[in-house]
Chain A
Amino acid sequence: MDKMPKWADVLLIPFINLLLAFILSGLVILAIGKDPLVAIKTMVEGSFGSTNAWGYTLYYATNYIFTGLAVAIAFHARMFNIGGEGQAAIGGLGVALVCLAVDWPHWTLALPAATIGAAIFGAGWALIPAYLQARRGSHIVITTIMFNFISAALMGYLLVNALKEPGNMAAETRDFPAGAHLPSFHEMLAPFGIEFSKHAPANISFLLALLCCFLFWVLIWRTRLGFAIRSFGHSETAARYAGISPTKIIMISMMISGALAGLMAINNVMGESERLILNSVEGAGFIGIAVALMGRSHPVGVFLAALLFGFLTQGGAELQLWENIPRELVVVIQALVILFTGALDNMVRAPVERLFLKFKKRVA
């Protein structure tokens, strides 16, 4: 019944989109007098060419998995959560408070506690916009954007006035205790005799992200709550008919969304910087929107899209380091990918669909 085979929809279209984005990026690189082939080689080698490169790529991907899943679950309830940025920042606050509150003896204790802290803080930050949407009809897009700004101001205030270590110039907390140090890939893989770069920031949070992908799938496609969330997302009138409370679904799905965004802090705050710094999220909340769109709100898609954006982030850094391509241009390339995979999706979809129909007819 579908207009084209599923594999084309899920794989071919994103691939063509990416190709177009890269071709255009290549032209831009050419325009500033650099060699696009060298550039792509630098990007690929810099993100996949060594364990160190992998370590960075997967570190960024881990961030994007969390924020991507956060946006995706809200999408399933037809909520557009643009507040991943703020929820992740506040999640970081939760992680920092947990990690600093106790002199943790071992990470196996610190991790679950910090996970809960991150989830509760992230969920709490999403709760207010969710309530305003569910009960007062304030549009979630507006409120979550506002809450991004509020969280930035709040974090700034707290880090400068309350959490900062005296004598430290930077607005950041003191370092977390050694017992809150999460194993990096180097430490995790060493027992298996696998040599992984010591300095790459990828850490055990990556496994947590994979676990979240799986739980996301179970929740959405195997539980009653997921069934209710999807029902509500597809048709609010039908959900009301079935006795599914819109208020409840909006609140719950947004809180899960906020919790997932908050969990990102396990990776960047606890896993990487090991202290809470200002502006720690660095736009990952927004990248999450692109990741969820490209990943079609499915955990496997989100994982793949997160990997792509991890590659773009890390490859972009390498481009800047070795090719002297200014960072503004790296942002342009990332923006092109988002533009082609997200906004211009239909531009490619329609012609490809037509092609498939023609082809089918000829075969038939």
Chain B
Amino acid sequence: MQDAPQLGRQNTAAPAIELRGISKAFGPVQANKDISISVERGAIHGIVGENGAGKSTLMSILYGFYKADAGEIFIGGERTAIPDSQAAISAGIGMVHQHFKLVENFTVLENVVLGAEDGALLRPSLAKARKLLTELAKEYELNVDPDALIENLSVGHQQRVEILKALYRHADILILDEPTGVLTPAEADHLFRILRNLKNEGKTIILITHKLREIMDVTDTVSVMRRGEMKGTIKTADTSPEDLAERMVGRKVLLQVDKTPAKPGKSVLEVKDLRVTDSKGVVRLKGISFDVRAGEILGIAGVSGNGQSELLEVLGGFETATGDIHINGHPIDLTGKFSDGQSRRAQGIAHVPEDRQREGLIMDFMAWENIAFGYHNDPAYNKNVLLMDNAAIRADTEGKMERFDVRPPNPRLQAKNFSGGNQQKIVLAREIERNPDLLLVGQPTRGVDIGAIEFIHQQIVALRDQGKAILLVSVELEEIMSLSDRIAVMFDGQIMGERLPGETDEKELGLLMAGMNGKAA
């Protein structure tokens, strides 16, 4: 209580937000169990927890998307009912969603005003908003061109528009849901500066994230959630990433990957002058070249949308390209006429795709069907020319689930009913146990709980130690830094440079990710 900064215009010492005994169940799943939390006015408060810990549910209740089964909400000390987001807005709560809710072909100004127009005529609202926007830009470093179309803005700027939208609606409490997921490190730093400025003006900020480093950097207090329960609120100064991780998972977690130096062998994958133009005519890959050798992990860093996805799709056999790719010295077809995902697999390429929910798995399929997915032509999975051997697949699945610690180990459970981490383990089990020469891994730990991250990283390193080549694509710089033996940074369809993890730092990589190629030293 004594830490709460006393604000001139607010004499009350009541917390900005207080939740008491919030519970919410979705069917048999208890998403929030008797959660109480208090956020001081003018503080940046972090909420951490693994996927499915109930962070998003809690915030959705606060923002009026869900109705709590039990519990009370106090805003500024007053008990407030929030039946819908309109009520949340009038209570001074603003939310910046993970996926922006902006109208792409409207201008910044129009987006800010949209839904908060003063009268039937647009002109006065727009003029008012323009004035306010200029003030806010000065005050908080929230500069955005008011007349720019959203679709022409960078992700970082779009996020600023979301913040402006909330401020335009007089938000005193700002909730940000995983705000840095799509930002470069520089953009993230800028965002944090904005947040600090807002805090200094007396705004209260709730930051939901799974990145422990951000919590440590920017928050004043942090609440940890695990399996729908609140596991306590601590001052950030009194904790450490290791401590937070342990609280989140409920056991000790290794945040650093344990690995020996790589012993690179012969070149497995050679890529020369690879170019991809998508169906809309946009050039996605502008002639990239690199190679991956046996026994090493090549990490591709970069903000998402800079060509990494297309690179994986070409290698995985479901995107066409021009250029030249050799695997184990054999050329592979890039036209798509003579090859597909099946022939790539036959050539020894396994692929853990970036988006496991849309690519790697079929969410409505049972685990055993997903284990056969992509390998359904494998003779071991078929009784004869006609019929599949479902029993054999299920038996194989049971083994894989045990070896990869998939929980619950039930082959008949649909993929959508597993947690993110266990879904990813199913994909990994399927791909790694094929004993590939080259493993493509995209975003291996996106949306995966910390406990599973550890396991997944160990598996990838173990495969490397067996002398396999691994191409790792991740937007998480930390992951790239800790797993890779070599790092290539992609920006705008090009490779901006290659670095060794020991000889670079996040700052330099961040510059490369932003397209700046001036090496500091």
Q: Which residues of A contact B (CB under 8 A)?
A: 1, 3, 218, 222-224, 227-228, 230-231, 234-235, 237-238, 240-245, 357, 360
- Tell which of B28, B345, B377 touches A224, judged by Cβ atoms closer than 8 Å: B377
> Would you list 5 pairs from A and B whose C-beta atoms are within 8 A, ordered by A residue?
A224-B382, A228-B376, A237-B358, A243-B317, A243-B318
Nearest residue (CB) in A for B364 is A234
Query: In the assembled complex, which residues on chain A have CB atoms less than 8 Å from the CB atom of B340?
Result: 243-245
B372 touches A3 (CB 8 A): no
B28 touches A242 (CB 8 A): no
- The reply to whether the CB of B369 lies closer than 8 angstroms to some CB of chain A is yes
- The reply to whether the CB of B359 lies closer than 8 angstroms to some CB of chain A is yes
Nearest residue (CB) in A for B342 is A243
B349-384 at interface with A (beta carbon < 8 Å):
351, 353, 355, 358-365, 369, 372-374, 376-377, 382
A240 touches B341 (CB 8 A): yes
A357 touches B369 (CB 8 A): no
A237 touches B388 (CB 8 A): no
B132-160 at interface with A (beta carbon < 8 Å):
none
- The smallest C-beta distance from A229 to any residue of chain B, in angstroms, reads 11
B369 touches A227 (CB 8 A): yes
Query: In the assembled complex, which residues on chain A have CB atoms less than 8 Å from the CB atom of B374?
Result: 241-243
- The smallest C-beta distance from B338 to any residue of chain A, in angstroms, reads 12
- The reply to whether the CB of B27 lies closer than 8 angstroms to some CB of chain A is yes
Complex Cα gap A224–B385 (Å): 9
B416-469 at interface with A (beta carbon < 8 Å):
417
The 10 closest A-B pairs by CB, nearest first: A243-B341, A243-B342, A242-B374, A243-B340, A241-B359, A240-B318, A234-B362, A1-B417, A237-B358, A227-B376
Nearest residue (CB) in B for A360 is B28
B367-420 at interface with A (beta carbon < 8 Å):
369, 372-374, 376-377, 382, 386-388, 390, 413-414, 417
B373 touches A242 (CB 8 A): yes
Query: In the assembled complex, which residues on chain B have CB atoms less than 8 Å from the CB atom of A231?
Result: 362, 365, 373
Query: In the assembled complex, which residues on chain A have CB atoms less than 8 Å from the CB atom of B344?
Result: 243
Complex Cα gap A230–B414 (Å): 14
Complex Cα gap A216–B351 (Å): 32
Nearest residue (CB) in B for A225 is B386
The A interface is mostly helix, strand or loop, or mixed, namely helix
A224 touches B373 (CB 8 A): no
Query: Please, how many residues of chain B have a CB less than 8 angstroms from a CB on the other chain?
Result: 36
Nearest residue (CB) in B for A243 is B341
B341 touches A242 (CB 8 A): yes
- The reply to whether the CB of B49 lies closer than 8 angstroms to some CB of chain A is no
Query: In the assembled complex, which residues on chain A have CB atoms less than 8 Å from the CB atom of B362?
Result: 230-231, 234-235, 238
Complex Cα gap A237–B27 (Å): 30
Complex Cα gap A228–B342 (Å): 12
Complex Cα gap A222–B377 (Å): 13
Nearest residue (CB) in A for B356 is A238
Nearest residue (CB) in B for A241 is B359
B364 touches A1 (CB 8 A): no
B27 touches A357 (CB 8 A): yes
B27 touches A3 (CB 8 A): yes
Query: In the assembled complex, which residues on chain B have CB atoms less than 8 Å from the CB atom of A218?
Result: 387
11 extra interface residue pairs, beta carbon distance < 8 Å, beyond A1-B28, A227-B388, A242-B373: A223-B386, A235-B363, A237-B355, A237-B359, A238-B361, A241-B341, A241-B353, A242-B374, A243-B341, A243-B342, A357-B27
- The reply to whether the CB of B517 lies closer than 8 angstroms to some CB of chain A is no
- The reply to whether the CB of B343 lies closer than 8 angstroms to some CB of chain A is yes
A224 touches B376 (CB 8 A): yes
Query: In the assembled complex, which residues on chain B have CB atoms less than 8 Å from the CB atom of A242?
Result: 341-342, 373-374, 376
B316 touches A222 (CB 8 A): no
B373 touches A222 (CB 8 A): no
Nearest residue (CB) in B for A248 is B340
- Tell which of B364, B387, B414 touches A222, judged by Cβ atoms closer than 8 Å: B387
Complex Cα gap A167–B28 (Å): 72
Query: In the assembled complex, which residues on chain B have CB atoms less than 8 Å from the CB atom of A243?
Result: 317-318, 340-345, 374
A223 touches B387 (CB 8 A): yes
- The smallest C-beta distance from A7 to any residue of chain B, in angstroms, reads 17
- The smallest C-beta distance from A93 to any residue of chain B, in angstroms, reads 31
Complex Cα gap A185–B272 (Å): 70
Query: In the assembled complex, which residues on chain B have CB atoms less than 8 Å from the CB atom of A237?
Result: 355, 358-359
B299-327 at interface with A (beta carbon < 8 Å):
316-318
Query: In the assembled complex, which residues on chain B have CB atoms less than 8 Å from the CB atom of A228?
Result: 376
Complex Cα gap A244–B360 (Å): 13
- The smallest C-beta distance from B343 to any residue of chain A, in angstroms, reads 7
- The smallest C-beta distance from A41 to any residue of chain B, in angstroms, reads 42
- The smallest C-beta distance from A198 to any residue of chain B, in angstroms, reads 41
B413 touches A1 (CB 8 A): yes
B27 touches A235 (CB 8 A): no
Nearest residue (CB) in A for B69 is A361
- The smallest C-beta distance from A310 to any residue of chain B, in angstroms, reads 31
Complex Cα gap A245–B359 (Å): 14
Query: In the assembled complex, which residues on chain A have CB atoms less than 8 Å from the CB atom of B414?
Result: 1
- The smallest C-beta distance from A179 to any residue of chain B, in angstroms, reads 33
Complex Cα gap A227–B368 (Å): 12
A223 touches B388 (CB 8 A): yes
Complex Cα gap A243–B339 (Å): 9
Query: In the assembled complex, which residues on chain B have CB atoms less than 8 Å from the CB atom of A240?
Result: 318, 341, 359
Complex Cα gap A242–B417 (Å): 21
